[in-house]
Structure 1
């Protein structure tokens, strides 16, 4: 199984090796596969769950479930040339999300394994992915008896030494930050990419193919509209009401919802309306009697239909995204998904269910905690295409793993819930694989811009 329309020979001796270190669940490998038209040859990761997911989706790859330091490149390659070696070392020590947590020299130095490959098997192209703060990589100093922190006086020194040593090994080295949404991924994930090559060919960073449709570049190029959260949301999944839950939502969560509803729906001149509008609403709202309006599940028998129904038995659905970390309340559904991390459920969807406004109250006491939204007869009054609508309910759910993987641009047939032996993954493990992953379309863009087989290089020469 491989994801490309390109035809390739299954005679492995016809190809240079392509190696994915820190392979994880397979984001980079999938992107490489899309670009070169064949599976990667070798994948290395110490995590059994990550290797299991990788093996499920990349069965033609040789897998090593070991530390990258325990793999001898010379033995693994068995004398064959390496065309591309990809490295995605642990980034948490460089990320802003690490905060003030103590650091471990062993994890912080994982990127040095790329130098080992450069010195022993000399890959024609090396690609390294990390967070944008990777350029600040510097030595650690002791704080107290056990803790270590980066030396503020030597910020970036280790990174400079890393680049210098690659150049000493005969590599041309360049780096750049790339944003996934610029290359067709439905996420704004921003990452640092270093490319080093020793074959005399130029290093090229891919040009953006997508952008905010309202902000086209001024150089005359017309780019495709970016992929958005709406493109990856599974609209068939119901959104449970935030009201009258057996276990009430936290006060801060309700405040985030209130601010998001106010900013992205009530105060928005063009609130996002769910695709298909009423045809995908997971419940029906009864509009025959405004003072005793009832909501009913879409999979329940229909209530008695009255002859004099104003506006029918539907409500429009408008949606925005909620972010559960930091001070960010969320973002519109017609923007790419914010960066997904391995920590778990922190990105969700808020749906506001609307019905036509006729000037009568809907009988809901919602003064608290949605105190920032007007209450009473005009609670949640929204203008949609010049008509007044009223919020009759608000739903919240966290995004499911298959939606998060779609946001990272994984193919829809990527297997995430079970491994090759039939063992099921917990939702937490699925999310962890996703949060640690490289967006495949971003990896594909970078590889497409730089990787040519030796045969093609010789043909051009």
Structure 2
């Protein structure tokens, strides 16, 4: 085995997935990311990747460039060749599949940036690849038909209108370029991340190796001989902040948050105050659990979002009258405390919220790394 195995990160974001893979034993030699603050974050923390840590559109990047960058990072006198990179990773933008987005069709993945992910894997020929995406991909149709146009008197659903049709296209494209696929839904809390965050993970193997998804290291109730899920209190226990960075709440929000305790939300407000607190959302459907939500110390955090101060996805500190700070979100996403994020507070929230939790990435990487020691 060449040590360490080499990886290239596509849609690298703030490096969460790649950082976890580093902790599992891989070395990132090139990356692609289009967001200016995210690549500055990577360059600050990994100066040896400065050449590739520049904003660039993946549609304009070819494998020749990435392999040449990898050769220079390794101080070779030549570019890396196809097949010499061991792992390519990425999470193509998840918005088309997200259940948090507009309900309806997602469009054909063959017309999205997913195909640039496939294009580069086919050209780089890594032994393995990892793709991460939101759970909505498992059930999303390519084309959505309104529910009032289904059933008796209407034509049967077309293949691309059926649940899961987008997933079938994704799998077909992965197999078309010669990879055997293993995929499933993982919860980050099962791998030591103090956060409930479900994501679909795909592992592709060029040589048909049966690489499995990682076995959980934690359990909700601490059963099966595993430690219990880590909590918000666990995540923040050793965090010291003299001047936390956060987006402050307006007084109109604070007047209601002051009435709530840890683990409560808008439903715990006095009934006569709920309509005014909720506004138009009061009569809308859904659980609305994120409104005026004060987090509980003794549970994992909900999924860290890109805007923890937004009304519908509130992540108010259990005791302080503020949303979670940048460093608190960073700790919950299991980034090291010395990892530096570049940009405004809003940009830092976005980078952290979009990242793959580092410990989840490490667990996935460790399972793949085993194949290199056989």
Where on the TM-score scale, by shorter chain, does this alignment land: which range? 0.7 to 0.9
Deviation of 1:159 after TM superposition, in Å, equals: 2.1
SS state of the match for residue 361, structure 2? helix
Match 1:27 to one of 16, 20, 29: 16
SS state of the match for residue 48, structure 2? coil
RMSD of aligned alpha carbons? 3.6
The superposition leaves residues 313-352 of structure 1 with CA deviations (integer Å, 9 ceiling, x where unpaired) of xxxxxxxxxx99645845521111110111342311233x
**How many residues get paired?**
320
Q: Measure the CA separation in 2 of the matches of 1:406 and 1:39.
A: 23
Match of 2:334 in 1: 409
Match of 1:118 in 2: 121
Q: Is the aligned partner of 1:187 residue 2:198? A: no
TM-score (norm 1): 0.61
Q: Measure the CA separation in 2 of the matches of 1:405 and 1:107.
A: 34
User: For the Cα contact (< 8 Å) 1:185–1:441, is it kept in 2?
Assistant: yes
Match of 1:171 in 2: 179
Q: Is the aligned partner of 1:72 residue 2:62? A: yes
User: For the Cα contact (< 8 Å) 1:117–1:123, is it kept in 2?
Assistant: no
Q: Measure the CA separation in 1 of the matches of 2:328 and 2:189.
A: 16
User: For the Cα contact (< 8 Å) 2:304–2:353, is it kept in 1?
Assistant: yes
Deviation of 1:85 after TM superposition, in Å, equals: 0.5
- In structure 2, the CA distance between the partners of 1:16 and 1:26, relative to structure 1 (3 Å rule), is same
The superposition leaves residues 347-403 of structure 1 with CA deviations (integer Å, 9 ceiling, x where unpaired) of 11233xxxxxxxxxxxxxxxxxxxxxxxxxxxxxxxxxxxxxxxxxxx522111000
Q: Measure the CA separation in 2 of the matches of 1:205 and 1:441.
A: 14
Q: Measure the CA separation in 2 of the matches of 1:118 and 1:409.
A: 28
Match of 1:357 in 2: none
Q: Measure the CA separation in 2 of the matches of 1:67 and 1:192.
A: 24
Structure 2 counterparts to residues 93-242 of structure 1, below 5 A: 93-100=96-103, 109-140=112-143, 153-212=161-220, 215-217=221-223, 221-233=224-236, 234=239
SS state of the match for residue 321, structure 2? strand
User: For the Cα contact (< 8 Å) 2:295–2:318, is it kept in 1?
Assistant: no
Deviation of 1:195 after TM superposition, in Å, equals: 0.6
Q: Is the aligned partner of 1:441 residue 2:359? A: yes
User: For the Cα contact (< 8 Å) 1:87–1:111, is it kept in 2?
Assistant: no
SS state of the match for residue 350, structure 1? coil
- In structure 2, the CA distance between the partners of 1:412 and 1:250, relative to structure 1 (3 Å rule), is closer
- In structure 2, the CA distance between the partners of 1:55 and 1:102, relative to structure 1 (3 Å rule), is farther
TM-score (norm 2): 0.74
- In structure 2, the CA distance between the partners of 1:407 and 1:259, relative to structure 1 (3 Å rule), is closer
Deviation of 1:249 after TM superposition, in Å, equals: 3.4
Match of 1:349 in 2: 317
The superposition leaves residues 13-53 of structure 1 with CA deviations (integer Å, 9 ceiling, x where unpaired) of 976531110111110111011001x5411111111111001
SS state of the match for residue 234, structure 2? helix
Higher strand share: 1
Q: Measure the CA separation in 2 of the matches of 1:196 and 1:409.
A: 25
Q: Is the aligned partner of 1:52 residue 2:40? A: yes
- In structure 2, the CA distance between the partners of 1:122 and 1:137, relative to structure 1 (3 Å rule), is farther
Q: Measure the CA separation in 2 of the matches of 1:65 and 1:236.
A: 31
SS state of the match for residue 214, structure 2? coil
Deviation of 1:414 after TM superposition, in Å, equals: 0.9
- In structure 2, the CA distance between the partners of 1:187 and 1:14, relative to structure 1 (3 Å rule), is closer
Q: Whose radius of gyration is greater, 1 or 2?
A: 1
SS state of the match for residue 193, structure 2? coil
Deviation of 1:63 after TM superposition, in Å, equals: 2.5
- In structure 2, the CA distance between the partners of 1:246 and 1:408, relative to structure 1 (3 Å rule), is closer
The superposition leaves residues 191-223 of structure 1 with CA deviations (integer Å, 9 ceiling, x where unpaired) of 1101110123221111111123xx233xxx311
Q: Is the aligned partner of 1:337 residue 2:305? A: no
Deviation of 1:139 after TM superposition, in Å, equals: 2.9
The superposition leaves residues 139-175 of structure 1 with CA deviations (integer Å, 9 ceiling, x where unpaired) of 34799xxxxxx99724322321221232232211011
Structure 1 unpaired stretches of 5+: 1-7, 144-149, 240-244, 265-322, 352-394, 419-424
Deviation of 1:71 after TM superposition, in Å, equals: 0.8
